[in-house]
Amino acid sequence: MYKRLSAILFPITALFLIGSVVWGYQENKEKNTVLIKAENQYQRAFHDLSFHMDKLHSELGNTVAVNASSQNFYRKELVNMWRMTSEAQNDIGQLPLALVPFSKTQAFLDQIAKFTYHTSVRDLSTSPMSETEKANLNTLYERSKEINAELKKMQTHILAKNLRWMDVETALASQKENTDNAIIDGIKTIDKKVEGYTAMNWGPSVTDTARNRNLNRLPGAEITMDQAKQKAAQFFGLPDISVIHATENGKGTDYNTYTLSTVKPGTQDEMSMDVAKKGGEVLFYTHSRPVASKTLDVRGARDAAQEFLDHHKLPNFTPVAYDEANNVASLTFARVQDDVIVYPEKLTVNVALDNGEVIDMQATDYVLEHKDRKLGKMAVSMEKAKKELNPKFEVLAHDQALIKNELNEEVLCHQFLGRINGTSYKIYINGESGGEEKIETLRASDVHAAS
């Protein structure tokens, strides 16, 4: 009997063992294939980074060497530099550097990208490059030379020692202190070098954007944590502040806020909001709850959002965009001043389509951009601006609008909403020059919400 049983089980066991070996081999082979593919991608990204930084250095050298009056050449080189910088940023994004201190280098490249882009789109014939901007190019040329030297040193070391980027991932994943890895050490060296660079005057087109995100520039006095709780209790519709939890964020920075949170009475839904410490303006509000059904349409959602804004003393807003997902409507509003739609002062309101309750508001852009503006009158009439449009463009509505152009400058425009070739657009015509300033493609929901 045992012999018969052995005769049956032995082949089965043998087959099982052979199958396990084959399966393990196949799994290991597939794993190695994935690892090799990842390593090849990392190697390619790093060598592309070295190539693009070398090209950026070369383009900077060309710009420094050119005659100061060659504005067309300046523009072409600035566009090339912006393209090379963007490519280098993309290469960095493909490397396993999430836990490596490379933020200073990334911020440096981001500043170069902004500087070259904003300068290249400017009309250099009427607003040529300043002496400060030319000095910046010289400084960037010298700094890119230093970064290039470090990258080439790393590249030579990687090729000579056959180093692997997968080892970087392993070293970072282990979270060991003082990890000895040539690639990590090289990255740290570059970031340390960039950190030691003195600050540059990038010009108003770049620095204004960063300055506008500074909450310390808001009007009004700083509020205490108890005052923030009082504001939250009023906003949440609660009788007292005892149930509100408060924390301070970004103390001593340009983005100093309070976060206030509580649970809505009679539910388990959490409500929270952020207010600016200086001035006490509401930046963000959310009420976390599921929305299982839909009973409201676009108009109902718009009316609910408008009522919410009016209730919280945020009047004179008009809807300019609409989106919908998971039974929640997201409406973007812009403030209206003297019949002009002021697009920099915008906020977003999310409405639950089951009962019209506002469950989210993002108002940071409005708070940071809000100010008293002297809008003045446009030199170009609506009739003259309309002649700049394609004759086949069917105009459905006209408004006056204040927008920001590519140089981050506020421009008063004629806004034409209409259709051509079955697609809806907003076309902005500069109220001073009469030229086409901007075009936006619209969805049907955007047109419906704004009508």
pLDDT digits (tens, 9 = 90+) for 402-450: 998 877 789 999 999 999 988 899 999 999 988 888 888 888 777 777 7
pLDDT for the residue numbered 380: 93
Q: Are 293 and 374 in contact (CB under 8 A)?
A: no
In whole angstroms, give the CA distance from residue 132 to residue 138: 10
pLDDT for the residue numbered 124: 75
Which residue range(s) make up the domain with 396? 382-446
Q: Is 433 exposed, middle or buried (0-12, 13-18, 19+ CB in 10 A)?
A: exposed
pLDDT for the residue numbered 70: 66
| Residue ending a domain, choose from 369, 401, 424 | 369
Mean pLDDT of 379-391: 92
- Residue percentage of the chain with pLDDT more than 70: 84
**Claim to verify: residue 193 and residue 244 sit in the same structural domain:** no
Taking only the tens place, the pLDDT of each residue in 260-302 is 999 888 888 888 999 999 999 999 899 888 898 999 999 999 9
**Claim to verify: residue 303 and residue 388 sit in the same structural domain:** no
Taking only the tens place, the pLDDT of each residue in 208-265 is 555 566 888 899 999 999 999 999 999 999 988 989 999 988 888 888 899 999 988 8
Most confident of 89-103, 179-193, 311-325: 311-325
Closest CA to 302 of 446, 430, 92: 446
**Claim to verify: residue 110 and residue 203 sit in the same structural domain:** yes
Closest CA to 140 of 115, 172, 176: 115
In a domain, 4, yes or no: no
Name the residue with higher pLDDT: 297 or 134: 297
**Claim to verify: residue 118 and residue 195 sit in the same structural domain:** yes
Instruction: Tell me the DSSP string of 21-85.
Output: HHHHHHHHHHHHHHHHHHHHHHHHHHHHHHHHHHHHHHHHHHHHHS-TT-HHHHHHHHHHHHHHH
Considering the chain, what is the average pLDDT of its residues?
82
Taking only the tens place, the pLDDT of each residue in 26-69 is 555 555 666 677 777 888 888 888 888 888 888 888 887 765 56
**Claim to verify: residue 144 and residue 230 sit in the same structural domain:** no
Domain count, the chain: 3
In a domain, 7, yes or no: no
**Claim to verify: residue 55 and residue 82 sit in the same structural domain:** yes
Which residues are paired to 259 by β-bridges? 247, 274
**Claim to verify: residue 65 and residue 172 sit in the same structural domain:** yes
Q: Are 74 and 24 in contact (CB under 8 A)?
A: no
Closest CA to 337 of 305, 374, 362: 374
In a domain, 376, yes or no: no
pTM of the model: 0.62
Name the residue with higher pLDDT: 189 or 412: 412
> Quick one: pLDDT band at residue 101, thresholds 50, 70, 90?
low
Alpha helix stretches (DSSP H) within 293-396: 298-311, 364-369, 382-386
Taking only the tens place, the pLDDT of each residue in 361-376 is 999 889 999 988 898 8
Which residues are paired to 399 by β-bridges? 415
**Claim to verify: residue 30 and residue 171 sit in the same structural domain:** yes
Taking only the tens place, the pLDDT of each residue in 63-91 is 877 655 667 777 788 888 888 888 888 88
In whole angstroms, give the CA distance from residue 107 to residue 450: 38
**Claim to verify: residue 208 and residue 226 sit in the same structural domain:** no
